[in-house]
Amino acid sequence: MKVGIVVLYESSKQKILEIAKGLADGVAQNGHSAEIIDAVLESDKKLSFYNYIIFGTETISMIGGKLPRNVTSYLAQCGSISGKRSFAFVLKKGFRTGRTLSLLMKAMEFEGMFLKYSEVLKRKEDGKEIGKRLRIE
């Protein structure tokens, strides 16, 4: 199956890309193909042809638990994603990261995505372990 790993960031590009690479490694170990999509550089990329979508972002405030402004606009324009099975993750950074994850999940569900799992991730190794355990079928 084709898995799209979308990362959207404001300041922690290297850290979130490392986690995405870990997720891709874990997903590949289960026999699926994974592509990492940089939502900042590839803002017009359509996600319609992926069977499973992993979407990750960071919190933009150390204490506020806020999403980057362009998360909702990206989700709204990335193609037909309603009904797609998905996984949401947020980079562990500061306080109230769980609040940021909750906001991301709501944004994804608003677009009709079916969330199978969500997690706050801190390291590439965490991403790899989660990627191995995801039930993508």
Q: What is the pLDDT of residues 63-104, one digit of tens each?
A: 767 888 899 999 999 989 999 999 999 998 878 888 999 999
Q: What angle do CA 92, 10, 3 make, to 5 degrees?
A: 70
Express as a percent the part of the chain with pLDDT over 90.
Answer: 67
- Taking the whole predicted model, whether its pTM rises above 0.75 is answered as yes
**Residue scoring higher pLDDT (137 or 26):** 26
CB 83 within 8 A of CB 112: yes
The predicted model gives 50-61 an average pLDDT of: 91
Whole-angstrom distance, CA of residue 31 vs CA of residue 15:
25
* b/e sequence 63-91, b meaning 16+ C-beta within 10 Å: eebebbeebbebbeebeebeebbbbbbbb
Stretch 27-51: mean pLDDT, rounded?
A: 92
59 token code pair? 């919190």
What are the structural domains of the chain? 2-133 (3.40.50.360)
CA-based nearest residue to 118, from 25, 14, 23, 12: 23
Higher pLDDT, 94 or 34: 34
